Amino acid sequence: MDVPNANSPALVEPTDPAADGVGERPGGRGDLSGPTGDPGVAQRPIAARDLDSIEAVLVAVERALSRIDTAVYGRCESCGDPLDDSLLVGDPTASACAGCTPASAG
């Protein structure tokens, strides 16, 4: 049985971007850039409510990382008891046990 190698015709990339219809041409299917041509630019604006939500998650993650650095991650901030593994699996940023979490928060 012949195994194709990197030089086999089926595995060689076309050298002409227009040959396969994708390429790096602006507007081609291979063009993933935003309106400015910068691939890091989002295609649509982010709504303020989405931005607030994203920022809240970022703050929670930064707090969890800080708790890891200070060796208190996985412990309730209020009573100091260990957090259930299932709680941390569901929300790695959790910082309070079920007994200390207000019913309206969860």
pLDDT tens for each residue of 31-72: 444 555 566 665 677 788 888 899 999 999 999 999 999 999
Kindly report the pTM of this predicted structure.
0.51
State the fold for domain 48-105.
Answer: Four Helix Bundle (Hemerythrin (Met), subunit A) (1.20.120)
Cβ proximity of 39 and 46 under 8 Å: no
Cβ proximity of 27 and 18 under 8 Å: no
Q: What is the pLDDT of residues 2-16, one digit of tens each?
A: 444 444 444 444 454
Q: Where in the chain is the domain with CATH 1.20.120.910?
A: 48-105
pLDDT greater than 80 at residue 105: no
CA separation for the pair 26, 22 (Å, rounded) = 10
Give the DSSP letter of residue 54.
Answer: H
